[in-house]
Structure 1
């Protein structure tokens, strides 16, 4: 039996196959709970397999301190927390969970957009605080989505799924990516490729779906925000550091954009205090993939990858390294 370490509790249905065949240890490693390098080393030092989370710092130091480690299965699509070269040098397989959370994240993106555009959090507070006295003609007027332009930054799986949903709401779709999408993807999403400057200047809603890398870090900064319409909304379900939160707070306070909805944060789980003070901001605790179906399948994907490595299979599903 191999020792498998999981750094956060997962849906049991997804990891049942691991428990039947191996020794599984579940920890709670994250910010403020031993999720630093030392805490991770202490938990995983004897592990042959590690199922990790996006906030686990799998640095070269951590990887070198786990001499028995054969596979890292990341419970996420992103993997910028893992030193892939250090894993490759050690011959450690690294996998992730691509594709599985596309629909859940696209649905949640639209949930955030609708909540922000129709001022739902403000309306809910209005009712709960006992201020609803009668129907008012000018109360909490929002923005309709029909005939508005949605600008998608990153037309990958999730971005394309968001674009398809936008069509059902009667929106026009433009997009920008580092590399132009396949023409078939463009046709299915009815999305027109534009420069980043044009996207910012013409979009009524800017929705972020790009990976986090050196090029995308603070992609939405003061300069980018200044190019947006004063009536525009910003949605981020990608990665927190894509947005300069201090610049966003300043833009919102100054009325340079109309609102923002965020599911991820620059220094997660810390949220910029300025965001907490503003009404035209919708904030969620990283919930885009939070459906029973998606989170269970993500656990199953990690389990399948771990078992393939431990069983010595030649083809490893969802492999990065």
Structure 2
């Protein structure tokens, strides 16, 4: 019996990449690949994801190519194309949806549950890229790498910086990770290699979750903030995590500590962080995500000398999109072989 699979490619996961799913034809699959032409660039994709995160599934239009081809599909594979109620109404035979992203904001999870349709994703697709970048941001802010580069380009040879008294070796630092999921655990693994003391707080992880070698769980956010020389965020946005870093929690940090955010902008109260940096009540920060992107002219962060800023680059890697496909193909191999799926999220 043939199982119809519809794959919706775009400028991130291209039609060539989606062709890896044709290997499932040995299991009796019939694979059709269409392209979402409205999502032709990474910029388009980033903008769409920001819209969905802030405004919800109904804020984005349906992909017409998807609607035109989904009527007989049992499995739908997308990257950023929306799987909303309009799409589901056009897909009476649908049994499984694969979103090839870490997030699932482009899928209407409630509507899928109502239909009993399984939702899987690619939760660790950019985990290694973000973990590498996070450690790089720690080093760049602590060691003034970006600032020195900028000054040299302007013709200034600078040997003394605002953090001169607390430039540290990572092996001498306590690094606190807020969140120990796919990314946080990989950051921990890398930092253990630097001989850092790594502590972690994750209010959403099971208490008996096995930790990476060399990582110690702490019982409270307050303990993590007061002990850490670096505080790095690795949570998803939820009502509980929104502005988890705010004026009160920033006040718990050491005056020499650095805040690192390569996760989500809304984890941090930007106004409070800018004020803490301005007052030098914390040592510095390295930020890759912002409440409004691109970062607008005149933003308070741009006036500070104790922050490293990047343009939402943490997940950027030539390997990320292909990893998404590998995860998706692997999950569908398990599906056809009646094996438990590893990434079920609805």
TM-score > 0.5, shorter chain as reference: yes
> Within the alignment, does 1:143 sit opposite 2:150 as a pair?
no
Deviates more, 1:16-25 or 1:246-255: 16-25
Gaps of 5+ in 2: 24-30, 53-57, 71-75
1:45 to 67, 70, 80: 67
Task: Find the aligned partners of 1:33 and 1:155 in 2 and give their Cα distance.
Answer: 27
Go from structure 1 to structure 2 and tell me whether the alpha carbon gap of 1:100 and 1:84 turns closer, same or farther (over 3 Å shift).
same
Aligned 1:238-317 pairs, distance under 5 A: 238-269=263-294, 273-303=299-329, 314-315=338-339
- Which residue matches 1:14? 17
Go from structure 1 to structure 2 and tell me whether the alpha carbon gap of 1:162 and 1:91 turns closer, same or farther (over 3 Å shift).
same
- Which residue matches 1:75? 100
> Within the alignment, does 1:230 sit opposite 2:252 as a pair?
no
Q: Residue 14 of structure 1 contacts residue 300 of structure 1 at CA under 8 Å; is this kept in 2?
A: no
Q: Residue 151 of structure 1 contacts residue 206 of structure 1 at CA under 8 Å; is this kept in 2?
A: yes
TM value normalised by structure 2? 0.76
Gaps of 5+ in 1: none
Alpha-carbon displacement from aligned partner over 1:182-226 (angstroms, at most 9, x marks no partner): 47415x133242311111122111011122222111111121112
Deviation at residue 294 of structure 1 after TM alignment: 3.1
Task: Find the aligned partners of 2:106 and 2:234 in 1 and give their Cα distance.
Answer: 18
- Which residue matches 1:97? 122
Deviation at residue 58 of structure 1 after TM alignment: 5.3
Task: Find the aligned partners of 1:216 and 1:193 in 2 and give their Cα distance.
Answer: 17
- Which residue matches 2:146? 121
**Count of residue pairs brought into register by the alignment:** 312
Task: Find the aligned partners of 1:154 and 1:304 in 2 and give their Cα distance.
Answer: 26
Alpha-carbon displacement from aligned partner over 1:133-154 (angstroms, at most 9, x marks no partner): xx74x35636212322111111
Q: CA RMSD in A?
A: 3.3
Task: Find the aligned partners of 1:241 and 1:173 in 2 and give their Cα distance.
Answer: 24
Deviation at residue 129 of structure 1 after TM alignment: 0.7
TM value normalised by structure 1? 0.82
- Which residue matches 1:5? 8
Deviates more, 1:153-162 or 1:261-270: 261-270
Deviates more, 1:299-308 or 1:143-152: 299-308
